[in-house]
Structure 1
């Protein structure tokens, strides 16, 4: 029965969610291609020095952060459907432009335009879910789409990795052009969605801005704190830790990444249940902080242990980590939607996306300095920060919910009072 229930969660959807699923699949396969070949293409085919490639990617990441909120504001004004189409098509054109680059200046221009379009598209598509679906369905829809994203990214990375074995400029160029076409198709698929109109802006909301919403900023900050324990921790700190500080074979890392992908695909929808409102989202974030702290402790224990003990600790920590990661995703979706005014989902999604990008950007630096540099005390410090972030979220979410005015909130069939958010 459990297996059948999981399969029902993953069955193809119709309507808005089905269209977005196909669109997201196209986008994430394209992203998988880019992750596999972009850096090598510019290093080997275009012959740009590695330091300049790193500089260009850093500049593009900063610009992507800066456009997140303005792009969300534009989505609120023009409609999330329209902006999702425009940003998606623009990203496709920018990625196709990779193949025309002949030096550093052109490289910097196209990767910056692509990164900004990706950030803008994320804000618009987040708002699109809010505009196209009732509040009670949004978190489950995001969970289903996240499962699709994991499948698409894995497929794209796998196919891109196979292309690396050929290692020719022709293959790299073909993959980049295919990526651009896929991004364009993903944007155009939004034409099949119902038209969305910008929500009416209340009179007392004129001049308001998400950056003036201090309670929401506090929630976004705690979300960024928990991001420290999600993807980048697993992809940067853990492989170095396994290789340098444990007796476990490095190959165990491949098993950990496979475990992470499979569990995310199978259980993300299931783990999102109960996180449809502020109370549920805050509980999910609290539990996420606890689980992420526990996994850090297990990773720390693996150092200096016999091989079988180290492998057991690493696999157990990875399993706990992926459930903490899924709870974080569900909780962050709920809070970003339920605490946003109906007329400003775009800029609120933009801020939440910005917070996540900042968290993901600083994690590699902190992880290498603290965990790799300090050893097991660094893991315990990370555990303490993640635990504090998770435990603080319900109280901050209550504060944010109390500051929402009735005319800014959307009707929710399971709505609860602020006091319902458990501490």
Structure 2
């Protein structure tokens, strides 16, 4: 080859490399084509609907239906308990018949049940509809986790979950903005429109899920999946430890608002800023923080670090009491930053562990079982955090910080034990 020919080849290669490396800034925010794109649009529709409903629901039930705040709170607690029952059967159905169909079925059922809220006229009806809706939501989440597990290549599942969590945050925010319209007008027709809009979003999410290729978990003769997951003690312990770490979700939504108002000199608006910071950070950083957690060792390290960082956040929140206004704001902001880092690490680690330690023949069942720890945390967190943090003050923050740290430190040895017993097929 001549010198000119070699130069032209070199220039062609370098040009190709530049085209491959340099991407428009917006392209980095877009999902990978194929399965993840289909899941993205389905997730976006579903979470916009969820954001609509959660934002207006309590006001709708109290101001339009006429229920008391105590009745709504008690009903939601009972409904959350019903959600604990949804994961295991949905996981079993996903393993038997394929997770895509199960996801679509429960998502469509959720759309129908959401419409049931428009005929609720008292506590009994509210508990019935909310319990069934929460059951189907938990079942749909389990089936969707199994769908990601079988439709996305193993080395890309965690990244896909991270991306979809960022999409979830955006969807909730968009839904919350839409719900602000209903809260502004505060009339029953507008509230009903929001509820029907939420139902339509759920149904659209179900239809869009059909774009994901159908796939089945491999079958296995011998012991059934139910027996396998219930006797896998290391995996059960990991689900419990993840549940303990997941209690962090109640810090910003339950403890901090009361803490800021009652125990610090910081302005009340600080709470909103902290929540916004959390939402933006999760949206922009979840994918980055999920790197390296695709295997058991990396996922376990992430959860160990999560526990330690959450300890730091709790100590910072405790230190905000008794400070001057701007010092309190600065300390709370530092605590919020530490908290969101712990949250990002906890979530990334949970996906790696829940997938990599689940045998392929029972992937759905294991996802349902692992998710029960998170659901249990959602039920217990409000009461535990209120009693400890608000009742005991700084000592309560320290207590929860130590619990987070101990849970995180326990994850790696338990994960190693689980890895020694996991079977592939």
2:364 matched residue in structure 1: 346
TM-score computed with the length of structure 1 as normaliser: 0.92
Aligned positions of 1:6-405 closer than 5 A: 9-203=28-222, 208-229=227-248, 231-405=249-423
**Displacement after TM superposition at 1:326 (Å):** 0.4
Q: Larger radius of gyration, structure 1 or 2?
A: 2
**Displacement after TM superposition at 1:123 (Å):** 0.3
State the distance in 1 between where 2:354 and 2:140 align. Answer: 16
Given that 2:226 and 2:365 are in contact with CA atoms closer than 8 Å, whether structure 1 keeps it comes out as no
Distance change >3 Å, CA 284–CA 4, structure 1 → 2: farther
**SS of 1:243's equivalent?**
helix
Structure 2 residue runs of 5 or longer lacking an equivalent are 1-21
**SS of 1:343's equivalent?**
helix
Given that 1:32 and 1:152 are in contact with CA atoms closer than 8 Å, whether structure 2 keeps it comes out as yes
2:5 matched residue in structure 1: none
Structure 1 residue runs of 5 or longer lacking an equivalent are 409-423
Deviations 1:73-131 (A, max 9, x none): 11111110010010000000110121122333332222122111100000000000001
Deviations 1:1-51 (A, max 9, x none): xx9898654223321111111111111111111111112222222223443
Deviations 1:334-389 (A, max 9, x none): 00000001011111111121110111221111111111111111111111100101
**Displacement after TM superposition at 1:174 (Å):** 0.3
Report how many aligned residue pairs link the two structures.
404
Given that 2:296 and 2:415 are in contact with CA atoms closer than 8 Å, whether structure 1 keeps it comes out as yes
Distance change >3 Å, CA 223–CA 172, structure 1 → 2: same
TM-score computed with the length of structure 2 as normaliser: 0.92
**Displacement after TM superposition at 1:319 (Å):** 0.7
State the distance in 2 between where 1:161 and 1:52 align. Answer: 23
Distance change >3 Å, CA 236–CA 112, structure 1 → 2: same
**SS of 1:209's equivalent?**
helix
Deviations 1:174-222 (A, max 9, x none): 0000101111111121111111124212435566231211010011111
CA RMSD across the alignment: 1.7
**SS of 1:203's equivalent?**
coil
1:420 matched residue in structure 2: none
Distance change >3 Å, CA 376–CA 49, structure 1 → 2: closer
Greater shift after overlay, 31-40 or 139-148?
Answer: 31-40
**Displacement after TM superposition at 1:324 (Å):** 0.9
State the distance in 2 between where 1:168 and 1:80 align. Answer: 40
Distance change >3 Å, CA 5–CA 261, structure 1 → 2: farther
Distance change >3 Å, CA 307–CA 50, structure 1 → 2: closer
State the distance in 2 between where 1:357 and 1:207 align. Answer: 19
Greater shift after overlay, 313-322 or 199-208?
Answer: 199-208
Distance change >3 Å, CA 208–CA 305, structure 1 → 2: same
Distance change >3 Å, CA 182–CA 209, structure 1 → 2: same
Distance change >3 Å, CA 252–CA 378, structure 1 → 2: same
Given that 1:226 and 1:386 are in contact with CA atoms closer than 8 Å, whether structure 2 keeps it comes out as yes
